Amino acid sequence: MKLRMNEDKSDGDLSSSITLETIAAHGLSESEYNKVLEIMGREPNLTELGIFSVMWSEHCSYKSSKYWLKTLPTEAPWVICGPGENAGIIDIGDGQAAVFKMESHNHPSFIEPFQGAATGVGGILRDIFTMGARPVANMNSLRFGRPDHPKTKHLVNGVVAGIGSYGNCVGVPTLGGECTFHMAYDGNILVNAMTVGIAETNKIFYSAATGAGNPVIYVGSKTGRDGIHGATMASAEFTEGTEEKRPTVQVGDPFTEKLLIEACLELMQMDCIVGIQDMGAAGLTSSSFEMASKGGMGVELNLDDVPQREKDMTPYEMMLSESQERMLMVLKPGSEEAARTIFEKWALDFAVVGKLTNTGRMVLTHKSKKVADLPIDPLALASPEYDENDRPWTPTQKSPPVKPDSFPAPDNPLLTLKKIMGTPDLASKRWVWEQYDHMVMADTLVNGRPGGDAALVRVHGTKKALAITTDCTPRYCQADPVEGGRQAVAETWRNITATGAKPLAITDCMNFGNPERPDVMGQFVGSIQGMREACLILKFPVVSGNVSLYNETNGQAIMPTPAIGGVGLIEDYTKAVSLHLNGAGQTLILVGQTQGHIGQSVYLREIHGLEIGPPPSVDLSKELQHGNFVRSQIGLGNINACHDISDGGLAVAVTEMAMAGNIGVNLNAEAAGSMPLHAWLFGEDQARFLIATNVPERIMDAAKLSKVPASIIGESKGNEITIAGFSIPLSDIIKEHENWLPEFMSTG
C-alpha cells in the first residue's frame, strides 16, 4: 500500500493524503484500499474515503454474502419485484400488491435500545412507502441474552418501548413476532423489524433515476450528526467499550415519519416522480449512488443546499449522516414547485440539492469548492464480492442422534408441561405486545391478533386478508444449519397455512457472527442451502431481505439466526381460522407423523439442561402435502381451529390452543402407541398440524384418500388438561404461562 503518512488535509483538497490508521478506522482492508486507488487513479480525500467505506461496508455491499444470496429462488408468477429494490412486491390480485421487507437493527439496539429499535421500525417503514405502498402491518423478531444477565432487562425494556413508541405514534399496527432468550445473545441482541404495505400495481415506484438535468430533491427532516458511521459500525463485531459507539446510533421522530408517509403518498398521485429512495444506511451517500447507478447516470450535489440541523457540518458529515425521516427523489423538470407545495403543507423540508448528469460520476460541491469527484459505476459495481476462496467455510459437524428412552420419563408429564409453559421462550409475551397498538387502522382481524400462528390483516375494502409471520429456530441452525434453514422456511409456511392462507413469498434477515471465521461462514452457507431447498419445493420465493454479520462480542458469536418473514393471502377472511378452541366437544386430530424426536428440543433443554443432538429432520415433500391438505380442509369449512406444531411439541401446541379458547382438553395416551409418552408429548417432529373439528369422520376420510397421516388424539372438554390418569387445571398452566415475563420485568 503506497501512502504518504502525513496528516490528512481538508475535504476540499482532492489530493489530500490518508493514513493507515484512517483506512483501518473506516473498515477497509489493504486490498480494498488498493482497489480504491485503482478506481480513483489517485488518493481519495477524507470525504471520498468515507463514501467508499460505507458503500463497501458489509451492511451496504453484502460483500461476504451476495455470492451465496444469488443462489436463492426469487421468482414466481405472482412476484412483481424481487431482491434489489427497497422492498419485495407480490401480486395479490385485483390490481393490488403486497410490499414487504425485513431488516436488522442489531448493533444500534444493543448500544442504545430505545432509539436503536425505534429507528429500526422507522427505516423499514420508509422502505415500504418508498415503493408507493401504504404500510399496514409491522412485525418484529427479538432475541435477547439470558434473563439473569445484568443488561437483559434494560435491553428488553428499551427495545420494546422503542418499537411501541415509533409504531404507535406513526399509526401502523404491530401485529406479532418473536421474543426469545439465550445466553448466545448476551453480548449482541437481535432486533429484526418487518413491515408490510399495500400498493396499486400500476403505481409502484422504483429507485432507478434517469434523465440528465432532472432535479435531485431532498425531503423530510434536516441532516444532523447522528448516525455517522452507522453502516460501518454495523459491519464490525463488538469489543469492550460499546458505549463509545452511541453517537453512531440514529435518533428517530415518528411524528415526522407520519408526515413523510402522507406527503410522499400524496406526491405519488401526481405523475412527476422519476425515482425515489429512502436515506437509510449510509444516508445521502447510498441513496444518491444507488439511484444514479441503477439508472446509469451521474449526479451533482451542492451540499450547501442540504437542510442542516447543526452548524458547520462538513461534507464528510453530511454524506455519512444517517439522520432519520429523510428521502431522496428525482423529479421530472418543472414539477419542483408543485412538489414543494405538498411537502411544505406537511411541514417538511424540501430542497433541490442537485441534478442528474450523463457523466457517470458523483461530483460534490461545498462552499463553491469541489470536495469530491468519484466514478459511480466503478465504485458501486466494483464493491467486493467474496466467494468460497475469499471467505472459506467449513460445514457444521453433525451431532449424534439422541434417543428418547435415554432419559427418564417425568413422574408427572403435566407438571413438566406446566414448567415448560412458564420458561422464558414459551411464556406469554403479552407484556410485550400489549405495549403495541395492534388495532390501529381497524383492519386487524380478531382471529389474527398477536399470539397466534400468523397475524391477519384485512386488505381494506375487500374480503382479502394477508397472513404474516416471522419464524426461526436458532438452536436448530446451530446444530445443523442446513436443516435449520429448511425448518425456518417450513415453519413460516406452516404458520401461514394454519390460518387457511396460501403462502406466497418470504423476506429474510440473516443474522450471523464474523464471516471471516470459516465455522461462522459455514453456518451462513448451510442456512442458505437449506432455505433454498425449502423455497424451491414449497414454491415460496425470497423477494427481499437483509444480512447482518459480525454479530459477536469479543469473539463470541450469536447462534446462526436466519429469521424468515412470510406473507400469504386468503381470498375470504371469513374462512380464516385461528388456534382458539371455541367450545367443548371438538375432536382433536393430529396431522402428520410423530417419531418423538427430542434432539435440540425445548423439553431436553428446559427439563434436562441439555442442548444436544441433531434438530428434527424436515421432509419438504411431506410439509407440502400435509400443509396443502390442511389448507384445503380449512377452505371447505371442516376445521374450527388449527395450530402448527413446533417448539415444545404436541403438548405445548395442545395447551396453547386450550389457553386461547379457555377450554380443557382430554388427550388419549393410547395414540402414542409404543412410543415413550414424553417423546410423544414433547418431541418436535416437523410437518405436523393440530386441528379441532366437529366433523372428524369427514377429515379422517379425506386424509385417508389423500394419503395424509392423521390420528384422533383427544377432545376439548372441561377445564383441565388430562392424559394417562394425570390432570392439571388449565388455570394453573395459564398462571404459570402469563406470569413469568411481567414478574421478570417488575423485579430488581
Q: Which residues are catalytic?
A: 59, 105
Q: What is the rounded CA–CA span in Å between residue 712 and residue 696?
A: 8
CB 719 within 8 A of CB 729: yes
Q: What is the rounded CA–CA span in Å between residue 466 and residue 457?
A: 5
Q: What is the rounded CA–CA span in Å between residue 44 and residue 27?
A: 15
Q: For the beta carbon of residue 200, count every other beta carbon within 10 angstroms.
A: 14
CB 489 within 8 A of CB 525: no
Q: What is the rounded CA–CA span in Å between residue 409 and residue 376?
A: 65
Residue with cell 404459570: 736
CB 459 within 8 A of CB 465: yes
Q: What is the rounded CA–CA span in Å between residue 106 and residue 123?
A: 13
CB 656 within 8 A of CB 523: no
Residue with cell 465455522: 519
- Please give the full DSSP string across 584-651, using - where no structure is assigned: TTPEEEEES------TT-HHHHHHH----SPPPP--HHHHHHHHHHHHHHHHTT--SEEEE--TTHHH
Q: Tell me the angle at which helices 649-661 and 413-421 cross, rounded to the nearest 10 degrees.
A: 70
CB 512 within 8 A of CB 520: yes
Task: Write the CA distances from 86 to 471, 622, 737, integer angstroms.
Answer: 22, 34, 39
Cell numbers standing for residue 244:
463509545
- Please give the full DSSP string across 292-306, using - where no structure is assigned: HHHHT-EEEEEGGGS
Tell me how far the alpha carbon of residue 117 is from its chain's centroid: 12
Tell me how far the alpha carbon of residue 25 is from its chain's centroid: 29
Q: For the beta carbon of residue 654, count every other beta carbon within 10 angstroms.
A: 26
Q: What is the rounded CA–CA span in Å between residue 345 and residue 389?
A: 55
Residues with Cβ within 8 Å of 555's Cβ and at least 6 positions away in sequence, in order, are 237, 514
Task: Write the CA distances from 158 to 28, 46, 286, 360, 422, integer angstroms.
Answer: 32, 35, 29, 44, 23
Detail the DSSP E strand segments found in 257-359. Answer: 273-278, 298-302, 326-331, 349-357
Cell numbers standing for residue 430:
403479552
Of 387, 385, 623, which Cα lies nearest the Cα of 525?
387
Residues with Cβ within 8 Å of 368's Cβ and at least 6 positions away in sequence, in order, are none
Q: What is the rounded CA–CA span in Å between residue 470 and residue 491?
A: 9
Residue 444 DSSP symbol: B
Sign of CA dihedral 477, 478, 483, 487: negative
